[in-house]
Amino acid sequence: MTERAFSPSYLQAARTGLISHRARSAREILACCSLCPRQCRVNRLDGELGVCRTAEKAAVSSYHPHFGEESPLVGSLGSGTIFFTHCNLLCLFCQNFEISHQAQGREVCSKSLAEMMLALQNQGCHNINFVTPSHVVPQILGALEIAVDRGLSVPLVYNCGGYDRVETLKLLDGIFDIYMPDFKFWSSEIAREACAAPDYPEVARNALLEMHRQVGDLVLDERGVACRGLLIRHLVLPGGRAGTREVARYIAREISPNSYVNIMAQYRPYGRAFELDGLSVPLSAADYERAVRAAVEEGVTRLDDRRRRFFL
């Protein structure tokens, strides 16, 4: 695919009025919020707070060109990341604990969020990368309306924890071109211990299937930069507690053998990780190599090639 041949889906969605319609539909959900699988049913428009601790406005921790993401997103000029404060999953070992659990950030209006997108595009970023967006889909859609009118034209990345309702993801169909979810755990028990979400494995499986239905396998342009498709992250946990082999088997057999997967080695005990059995130690090189070998044996061969790093 050439750079000229690609046009983000949301440009057509803006011309047909689809973004405006979806933004209104998503905002209505906030009155009795069921955006994510927590389904707290609070009235966020009236200031009530559920698990994500976010009311009517989104909160942003930071935004900047990011060069530590996967190579198809970073390219030569970086991925334009917008880090949202709070989270709907709240893993106790979260590597961004200050943002997700401790609410580091500030509330922003739709105009300000749109200006962030445009500023990142103007800095040359290859995409706009929304980090932890599951609880702020209406706010993103509202800001996108403004940003498109003012010239936004790079792909959008939905960079999430995988704990997403299919019904909410369908609001993004025809608008987002790149999905980058985590597939964190295969075991319901570790999901219950780590984030009080025993339904995570089933939710993530359904979410990834819907994402792939919308955008397919990852497609790169002649520069090696992502244009469209699904990119899956999987953080290896000490002692194989993430269930890497089972996760990889599911990806290869049920989603696509051509799935682009980042098997991540970044785990270290952080936040409240010391409360979790087996997760109070850093990931070992041996555990990581076993995980990669298992993924390849199960049919996952399109792996991100970044240098593996270990925190000792």
The CATH number covering residue 277 comes to: 3.20.20.70
In a domain, 200, yes or no: yes
Range of the domain at 44: 9-303
> Can you give the pTM of this predicted structure?
0.95
CA distance 89 to 60: 17
Q: Name the residue among 36, 30, 43, 18 with its Cα closest to residue 138.
A: 30
Residue 2 confidence class, pLDDT cut points 50, 70, 90: very low
Q: Name the residue among 234, 236, 235, 237 with its Cα closest to residue 280.
A: 237
CA distance 228 to 236: 25
- The residues, any chain, with a CB within 8 Å of residue 199's CB and separated by 6 or more, are 37, 188, 191
Q: How do residues 265-277 score in pLDDT, each as one tens digit?
A: 999 999 999 999 9
Q: How do residues 127-186 score in pLDDT, each as one tens digit?
A: 999 999 999 999 999 999 999 999 999 999 999 999 999 999 999 999 999 999 999 999
User: Does the CA dihedral 156-144-120-182 come out positive or negative?
Assistant: negative
Q: How do residues 288-302 score in pLDDT, each as one tens digit?
A: 999 999 999 999 999
In a domain, 1, yes or no: no
Distances (CA, A) of 299 to 245, 260, 285, 292, 296: 10, 12, 22, 11, 5
Burial (Cβ within 10 Å: 0-12, 13-18, ≥19) of residue 166 = middle
Q: Name the residue among 132, 121, 160 with its Cα closest to residue 61.
A: 132
Number of domains making up the chain: 1
Q: How do residues 19-45 score in pLDDT, each as one tens digit?
A: 999 999 999 999 999 999 999 999 999
Angle at Cα 52 formed by Cα 24 and Cα 228, nearest 5°?
60
Q: Specify the pLDDT at position 4.
A: 46
The two tokens of residue 122 are: 């103007």
Mean pLDDT of 48-70: 97
Report phi then psi at 66, rounded to 5. -120, 130
In a domain, 309, yes or no: no
- The residues, any chain, with a CB within 8 Å of residue 294's CB and separated by 6 or more, are 244, 245, 248
CA distance 128 to 125: 7
In a domain, 310, yes or no: no
H or E segment and range at residue 228:
strand 226-235
CA distance 112 to 116: 6
In a domain, 104, yes or no: yes
In a domain, 194, yes or no: yes
Mean pLDDT of 77-103: 97
Q: Are strands 219-220 and 226-235 parallel, antiparallel or unpaired?
A: antiparallel
